């Protein structure tokens, strides 16, 4: 009898620590319209509460009552297929960032929302702490949901910007990089099909194993060119083979094309962890922001991490 | 599980329970207090998080100085870093570092130290009780944390009749813009006791009608809150609306919160837009 009473006391005392209930969300700065601010706070609160409840119950996330774009709800559902997640805090305060394009307001972003991952595959490798960012339309509807790039990378991208227009486009690049990275984690082949231009140049490098030599030689790398169709077909097979994919982007450098202002070259280190395979490599992407709502990747190259720095692809290697 | 093992487990867990959430709670208090400037960073290594957070803090301080036309070096890097404090939280396999300083201290306009006891910086929040704190390389400047923001203290208990001026609207709750807000107030007013009304608030929070609620001492902005008012017999006297001159939703008259000194008071806020 005493033992049962003690167990009940234990359960009651630990309940606040273990139950994932309502998330209170507050925007501390960044939105002057109180009505819009209240709406966004409510939407963020409702969405994160739904996520926490789904994590607790093991059910899919219930989006009813939440004003959310199909793309955003699809993004969350795709992530849910590989890992559950829930917020660390149930009282979150963050600033809203304005997203602009050509001087026009295109929405808002809420960042610094930390979540804990519960991967469905026990062999998952990588950090189980992620930051998410929620994007809103100018009218307060949730339009996107992504895992954020690590904060120091995010700051680095902006430190390199010099002008306001450049700042806007760097925000966009960051956003699309986060979408791109999240798409791998979601195994979202539809996004990959949309983001690569039809005539995209895709090059993959492979280190050729040399016979051992007394004199250390630089690595010899063999390059293979693929069409978009070939690349996506191989990527789909990879998605099907692996129960989870965890991609992290690191050491991101962004360079604007000298004569074509809508083109950016992005070089980064890609850490790839999946249930069947892991590697590190240097990814180079050429992004075209001529259509701001649907930027395209025209060039994607992957080189092994040991590639000498003088051989890493840059904008200068490609005629655009 | 043997009874004595369960008791041993309780003895280990109980002291840590009040600490759960203390760091996060303090961080949110600072974020809500406009007297502070803050920055935060979450990284795999605590030292990296600390360095990035400090770098961000210095940038935010400079932005604040420029936006407010504050010259001199008050908000310069050395001043900011000399005055800042930090709070560190475990975030799974990463560490969050939150750094902050009080604007008045940096600009030399601080008033005399308050009577509130200075709080020691909160170093760690154990999410699971057996996680040890992670040491930060490069110890932050050790200073007592700034005094907590003043909390409005209840006035001396004395009962008085509320002042009343009739309003012309047909129904007091009808002054609320949304039908669901009027329904919330009417449901609270229909409670047979103060305890019953108070007991409805958690459910209303779950349903995204009530945003927050709490005791008088926990209210950060008295003027923006609604209030449940109860008397010493346990009766729900009324529900008051926000503002300096408030709506008494029971009588339809206007009233002041000051008129309810000595009454039981619970504050709550509603979502204003869904």
For residue B6, being part of any structural domain is answered with: no
If asked whether residues B186 and B233 sit together in one domain, one would say yes
Same domain, B185 and B126: no
Which residues in chain A have Cβ-Cβ distances shorter than 8 Å to B208? 22, 42, 45-46, 65
Q: Is A131 on the interface with B (CB under 8 A)?
A: yes
Q: Is A308 part of the contact surface with chain B (CB cutoff 8 Å)?
A: no
Which of B6, B60, B130 should we substitute to test contact with A (largest number of A Cβ atoms within 10 Å)? Answer: B6
What is the rounded CA–CA span in Å between residue B18 and residue B58? 33
B19 close to B126: Cβ distance less than 8 angstroms: yes
Higher pLDDT, B128 or B26: B26
Tell me whether residues A28 and B212 touch, CB distance under 8 A: no
B166 belongs to a structural domain: no
Across B225-242, average pLDDT: 93
Q: Report whether pLDDT(B20) > 60.
A: no
User: Are B178 and B145 in the same domain?
Assistant: no
Q: Which of A6, A17, A151 shows the shortest C-beta gap to B6?
A: A6
ipTM: 0.74
Instruction: Name the residue range of residue B70's domain.
Output: 21-110+119-150
Q: What is d(CA B202, CA B134) in angstroms, rounded to the nearest whole number? A: 36
Closest residue, chain B, to A118 (C-alpha): B92
**A262, A274 in Cβ contact below 8 A?**
no
Is A127 part of the contact surface with chain B (CB cutoff 8 Å)?
Answer: yes
pLDDT tops 80 at residue B264: yes
Quote the pTM value: 0.68
What is the distance between the alpha carbons of residues B150 and A115, in angstroms, rounded to a whole number?
32
Domain for residue B265, yes or no? yes
Q: Which of B17, B18, B28 to mutate to test the interface with A (most CBs of A within 10 A)?
A: B28
| Chain A residue numbers touching B206 (CB-CB < 8 A) | 21-22
Q: What is the pLDDT of residue A295?
A: 87
- The sheet with strand B94-102 has its strands ordered as B36-43, B94-102, B85-91
A128–B96 CB contact, under 8 Å: no
Dihedral, CA atoms, A41, A44, A45, A48, nearest 10 degrees?
Answer: -170
Q: Cα–Cα distance between A249 and B20 in angstroms, integer?
A: 33
Q: What is the pLDDT of residue A101?
A: 72
B243 in a structural domain:
yes
Least reliable range by pLDDT among A33-37, A206-210, B94-98, B234-238: A206-210
Shortest CA distance from B1: residue in chain A: A3
Q: Which residues of A touch B178 (CB under 8 A)?
A: none
Task: Please report whether residue B160 resides in a domain.
Answer: no
CB contact under 8 A, A2 and B3: yes
- B164, part of any domain: no
Same domain, B99 and B180: no
Handedness of CA A292, A115, A98, B72 (dihedral sign): negative
For every residue of chain B, DSSP letters joined together read --HHHHHHHHHHHGGGGGGTTHHHHHHHHHHH-TTEEEEEEEESSHHHHHHHHHHHHHHHHHHHHHHTT--TTTTSHHHHHHH-EEEEEEETTEEEEEEEEEHHHHTT---S--SSPPPPPP----SSTTPPPPPPSSPPP--PPPPPPPPPPPPPP---PPP--B--SS-GGGGSSSHHHHHHHHHHHT-SSHHHHHHHHHHHHHTTSEEEEEEGGG-S-GGG-EEEEE-TTS-EEEEE-SSSSEEBTTTSBEE-GGGGTTSEEEEEEE-S--
Residues in chain A within 8 Å Cβ distance of B44: 127
Residues in B touching A84 (Cβ below 8 Å) = none
Same domain as B196, residue B83: no
Cβ neighbour number for residue A171 with a 10 Å cutoff: 21
Neighbouring CB atoms inside 10 A of A227's CB total: 13
Dump the DSSP string for A283-308.
EEEEEE-SSTTS-EEEEEEEEETTS-
Structure tokens belonging to residue A98: 């304005």
Tell whether B25 and B98 lie within a shared domain.
yes
Residue A211 has a pLDDT of 61
The total number of structural domains in chain B stands at 2
* In a shared domain, residues B60 and B138: yes
Using 50, 70 and 90 to split pLDDT, how confident is the model at B238? very high
Pairwise pLDDT comparison (B51 vs B164), residue with the higher score: B51
B113-160 residue pLDDT tens: 443 333 334 444 433 333 333 333 333 333 434 434 333 344 433 334
Q: What's the rounded Cα separation, in Å, for the pair A110 and A43?
A: 12
pLDDT over 60 (residue B171): no
Clarify whether residues B192 and B229 are in a common domain.
Answer: yes
The verdict on a CB contact (< 8 Å) between A155 and B55 is yes
Note whether B3 contacts A6, CB cutoff 8 Å: yes
Weakest mean pLDDT among A85-94, A133-142, B22-31, B201-210:
B201-210
Query: Is B3 inside a domain boundary?
Result: no
pLDDT (mean) for B175-193: 87
Instruction: Please indicate, yes or no, whether residues B74 and B138 belong to a single structural domain of this protein.
Output: yes
Helix (H) / strand (E) containing A229: helix A228-241
Which chain B residue has its CA at the smallest distance from A152's CA?
Answer: B52
Low-confidence ranges of chain A (pLDDT < 50): 15-19, 163-164
Neighboring chain B residues of A2 at a CB cutoff of 8 Å: 3
Residue B219 lies in a domain: yes
Verify that B203 and B236 share a domain, yes or no.
yes
pLDDT of residue A217: 67
Q: Are residues B146 and B36 in the same domain?
A: yes
Question: B31 and B94: one domain?
Answer: yes
Smallest CA–CA distance, residue B127 to chain A, in Å, is 8
Question: CA A151 to CA A17: how far, in whole Å?
Answer: 28
Mark which residues 79-118 of A lie under 8 Å from B by CB: 88-89, 91, 93, 112, 114, 116
- A88, B25: Cβ pair inside 8 Å? no
Contact B10 A9 (CB under 8 A): yes
Distance of CA B217 to the CA centre of its chain: 10
User: Average of pLDDT values for B58-62?
Assistant: 88
Quick check: B91 and A114 CB within 8 A? yes
Return mean pLDDT, chain B: 74
């Amino acid at each position: 009898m005493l033992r049962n009473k003690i167990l009940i006391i234990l359960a009651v005392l630990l309940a606040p620590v273990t139950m994932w209930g309502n998330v209170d969300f507050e925007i501390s700065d960044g939105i002057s319209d109180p009505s819009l601010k209240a709406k966004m706070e409510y939407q963020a609160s409702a969405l994160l509460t739904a996520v926490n409840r789904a994590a607790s119950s093991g059910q899919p996330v219930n989006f009813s009552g939440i004003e959310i774009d199909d793309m955003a709800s699809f993004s969350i559902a795709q992530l849910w297929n590989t890992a559950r997640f829930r917020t660390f805090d149930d009282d979150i305060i963050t600033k809203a960032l304005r997203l602009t394009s050509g001087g026009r307001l295109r929405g808002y972003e809420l960042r610094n929302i930390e979540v804990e991952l519960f991967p469905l595959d026990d062999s998952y490798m990588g950090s189980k702490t992620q930051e998410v960012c929620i994007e809103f339309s100018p009218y307060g509807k949730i339009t996107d949901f992504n895992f954020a790039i690590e904060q120091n990378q995010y700051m680095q991208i902006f430190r390199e910007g010099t002008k306001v227009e450049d700042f806007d486009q760097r925000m966009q690049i960051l956003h699309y990089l986060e979408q791109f990275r999240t798409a791998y984690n979601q195994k979202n082949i539809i996004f990959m099909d949309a983001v690569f231009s039809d005539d995209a140049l895709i090059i993959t490098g492979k280190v050729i194993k040399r016979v051992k030599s007394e004199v250390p030689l630089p690595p010899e790398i063999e390059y293979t060119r693929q069409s978009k169709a070939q690349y996506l077909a191989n990527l789909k097979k990879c998605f099907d083979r692996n129960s989870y994919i965890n991609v992290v982007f690191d050491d991101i450098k962004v360079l604007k094309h000298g004569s074509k202002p809508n083109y950016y070259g992005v070089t980064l280190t890609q850490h790839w962890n999946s249930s069947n395979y892991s590697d590190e490599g240097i990814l180079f992407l050429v992004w075209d922001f001529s259509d701001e709502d649907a930027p395209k990747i025209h060039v994607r190259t992957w080189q092994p991490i040991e590639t000498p720095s003088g051989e890493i692809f840059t904008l200068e290697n490609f005629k655009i | 599980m043997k009874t004595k093992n369960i008791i041993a487990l309780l003895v280990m867990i109980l002291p840590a329970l009040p600490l759960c959430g203390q760091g996060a709670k303090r961080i949110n208090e600072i974020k809500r207090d406009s007297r502070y400037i803050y920055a935060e960073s979450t990284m795999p290594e605590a030292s990296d998080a600390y360095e990035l957070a400090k770098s961000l803090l210095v940038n935010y301080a400079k932005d604040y100085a420029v936006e407010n036309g504050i010259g001199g070096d008050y908000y310069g890097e050395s001043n900011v870093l000399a005055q800042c404090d930090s709070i560190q939280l475990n975030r799974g396999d990463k560490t969050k570092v939150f750094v902050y300083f009080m604007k008045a201290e940096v600009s030399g306009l601080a008033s005399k130290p308050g009577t509130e006891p200075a709080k020691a910086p909160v170093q760690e929040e154990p999410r699971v009780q057996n996680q040890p704190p992670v040491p930060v390389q490069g110890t932050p400047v050790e200073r007592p944390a700034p005094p907590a923001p003043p909390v409005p203290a209840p006035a001396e208990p004395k009962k008085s009749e509320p002042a009343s001026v009739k309003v012309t609207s047909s129904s007091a709750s009808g002054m609320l813009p949304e039908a669901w807000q009027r329904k919330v107030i009417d449901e609270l007013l229909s409670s047979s006791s103060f305890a019953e009304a108070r007991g409805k608030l958690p459910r209303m929070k779950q349903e995204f009608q009530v945003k927050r609620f709490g005791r008088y001492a926990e209210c950060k902005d008295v003027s923006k809150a609604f209030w449940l008012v109860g008397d010493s017999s346990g009766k729900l006297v009324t529900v008051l609306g926000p503002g300096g001159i408030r709506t008494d939703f029971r009588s339809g008259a206007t009233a002041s919160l000051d008129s309810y000194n000595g009454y039981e008071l619970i504050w709550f806020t509603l979502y204003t837009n869904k």
